[in-house]
A = this chain, B = another copy of it.
């Protein structure tokens, strides 16, 4: 009873013309990822439905999907809770993402299609602008887009979906890490190295740079484990 929802603003605007369930899913997911909904917090169907002004059915469907993402834990007849940040699951998410994205970038490098490279370079340009302007959100959005371009360019849309799903676990950790000066520029350089490898058709180099790029999260995890170990469970 004590931990009812404090929530100041509504989770998100809902467009009644579109389907409810996907919107609710996205809304709750975003709230979990930026920690507006905190680990272990109770999320009852009824309460969320009331808050969002919809019925319990689409809320329930959204929660089921979030459970598949590992972002909520559903205990039948007991309750649904925001999943705690479990080190093992974060590491496994990283493992899956790395395996897939490294394979993807290898394929992109093997093809080394000029039109694909052009689109990647356009993304790089936008990233550079965001870095120069210190536009964190803009960079993160373009970072996401950069990785999407890689998968989509070789028609691996399902792989991208899997990456997106597991990435939730990683994003929740990332928002906990304080933004460091020069970090964005570093990420940009890594993206640049990846594209350069793709241009030269050097898939081995592309894989290496992608691996290094993705393994940045380990630094974040280590730092958080040292500075704020109470964040993690299990």
**Which residues of A are at the interface with B, using a C-beta cutoff of 8 A?**
19, 57, 61, 64-65, 68, 70, 76, 88-89, 92-93, 95-96, 98-100, 102-103, 107, 155-159, 162, 166
**Chain B minimum-CB-distance residue to A154:** B95
Interface SS of chain A? helix
Contact B92 A96 (CB under 8 A): no
The answer for the CA separation of A166 and B157 in the assembled complex, in Å, is 13
What would 14 A/B residue contacts be, using CB atoms closer than 8 Å?
A64-B64, A64-B65, A70-B158, A88-B155, A89-B158, A92-B158, A95-B103, A95-B159, A96-B156, A99-B99, A99-B103, A100-B100, A162-B162, A162-B166
> How many copies of this chain?
2
- Please tell me if the beta carbons of B93 and A158 are within 8 angstroms of each other in the complex: yes
CA distance A61 to B159 in the complex (A): 23
Q: Which residues of B contact A102 (CB under 8 A)?
A: 99
A159 contacts which chain B residues (CB < 8 A)? Answer: 92, 95-96, 99
A99 to B100, CA, bound (A): 6
